[in-house]
Structure 1
Amino acid sequence: MIEWSHQGQNRQALWRSESGAPAPRRIVVADDTLAADTAFRMACEGTGLLWQGDFQNARMLVQALMRRIDTRGSKPRKAAAAKAAQKAAAATPAETFHLHRQAQSQRARVLASVLIPLDGDYGIALRRAPDLRQACTEAWGPADGKPSVATLRELLGLVGAHEWRKKGVEVPALGAAPNNRIHPYYGVFSPVRGEYVDLVATTPLPTTALAFDIGCGTGVLAAVLARRGVQRVVATDLDPRALACARENVQRLGVAAQVEVVQAYLFPDGRAPLVVCNPPWVPARASSPIERAVYDEGSAMLRGFLSGLAAHLEPGGEGWLILSDLAEHLGLRPRAQLLEWIAGAGLVVLGRHDVKPHHGKPGDATDALHTARAAEVTSLWRLAAAT
């Protein structure tokens, strides 16, 4: 619960944060009269601004805060930015990555300072406020009748996720439109990077009898395997949102008879002649549930998949590991370490299929991680139990 004072009365409400971030230690009521520079100073000090004005003006305030973060307007901030730029220029790739993550965290903290009160049914009693009740219900579940407070930034993220879920993401590897869309849920990673999906769609299948899809997320790889003719696919995940999302997607795509979605950490019971896994690619700590699809602290999921693969492969079976080498170019996990884990798990490499990313970031020279992204390659490693 969070508490604040307004018009001489003490108020309280449930604090909502998808990332698990604590509520601001100090909360003040703010409205359209608050100047952007004042709001920026208060946000940098860690003050939460509980909005009581026009909703669209709150959105404009967040945009103003964003501009101030980007421009670093005052002389002290410019000097600090110049010092940070010098430090970044001399940093190793791993240091550059950690500085980038630190800057992202600081930016997120400032932009999350604008808070929106929600009624017990997720309604927003502010002027020109949109109806976000459906988006909130999709993300948080049915309303419980209790007032709550969330950051405007998180609410806008809910809106974006609702639109993704409604419209879906076209996946050419699933066939011709319109029956080739994946509808991601809030908090479940969207398959917007198509190269890893294409690898699973084009690598020759060792079998069409049975496959396991480990950490299925939206269910996109399980659906691709089913569309390729695999008679039975067992797709696993731990996250309830991912499980619901995958089940809905395989139903929409007409492959529910072939795909069984089960809750499990990594492997289901039994063995399969094909086991597929696309673990998070970067060994770093996730700051929110959606980031768990990208960041895998200590390479825990990768190592768990490798260490358990041999015991879940049928004789002569293949394990497909889909993995980007971005972590290698960032200096976070050397190739030798990956090969050591593969050998230590009693596995051998049968072959590897590589593809360069299709997205635009490798060409963005302003990206702090541009050098690593420009060199990135995504691979499908064909693994087998050592004989």
Structure 2
Amino acid sequence: MAKVILRNLNKTFVDQQSKKEVNAVKDLDLEIHDGEFMVLVGPSGCGKTTTMRMVAGLEEVTSGEILIGERVVNDVPPRDRNIAMVFQNYALYPHMSVYDNMAFGLRLRMLPPIWEQLANPGKTKEIKASIDAKIQAAAKKLDITDYLDRKPKALSGGQRQRVALGRAIVREPEVFLMDEPLSNLDAKLRVQTRFELINLHRELKVTTIYVTHDQVEAMTMGQRIAVMNNGLLQQCDTPQNIYRHPANMFVAGFIGMPPMNFVKGATVQMEGARPVIHCGGFSVTLSAERTNVLAAYVGKEVVFGVRPEHLNDKSLVSGTPENVIRAQVEVIEQMGATSNLYISLGGHALVSVVDASTIAKENAPLDIVIDAEHCHVFDKDTEKAIF
């Protein structure tokens, strides 16, 4: 195992049409702890895969440093970095059996040239036995022992992905690199394989960098998440901290499904000892604890944010809640245990997630409770979170 450190990492490409430089990764500083499962997440083109490819040695670093363990690996070829990579498309040799696919890299690395094998058959037999032991152990972990004699075409998508994982595991690397390994699987198999990957990491305790555009994968798998956009690291923290305390509007809108509701053009006012966010059609009264952090924004425009799950049907809330606002329900999506309500609140189109027992009806009014304790306010210019 080894920690991975990225110091002021930059990657610049030259656009072939415009001949202009494109910054794919900009001034990235990130430390992945020894044995940690780190997820790089963001939309297409955010720089996450480019970052992984630089760690792997498949992309040249424009500037900055990459350390694996205590060693700077910028100029170290990929084969000497002691890493293993799992690809989105499995990358299995179709003419080889599962066993041979898993053994191929080990044979290249461990077996001597053929003339040395012939000259020292005892040593060769010993190496082959070691390779076999590694493959059998990995196959048992991944429950693919019964498939070792099959060709990839005789396997399902999930089984092929396990073979690709097995090929990486037998290398016993210091770092696993996984580039969207679940994206080719169907929804049910994706959930199952996600669970298997989490258990596998707990067992192996190998430092893992996992790239995905799926925020659900990021939230459920990562011990920490690094959110990227336009080549820049937006925030790196635990899943719950990113969800509860997003650093800016991009993170707030990207993490969470359905995404956070934003109301632009809101203003901050003080009414007595408590701050109030006026959203042009409805207002939200906050606790007095928010007074100090909002003091500099009184009378100014801000962006108000609230997650769909913090807009609730009043009939489902006990007691006498504050911040009850009449909304118009336009569309209801039945999700089973919950319902997504598309509502018009003070002229703003918002989404609410409520229990399926809601009394809401389409094209009918509904009293909505805004949970002020879980609301967010952002600076309208910088888009950074005020709280």
TM-score, normalised by the number of residues in structure 2: 0.28
Name the structure with the higher helix share: 1
Name the structure with the higher strand share: 2
Larger Rg belongs to: 2
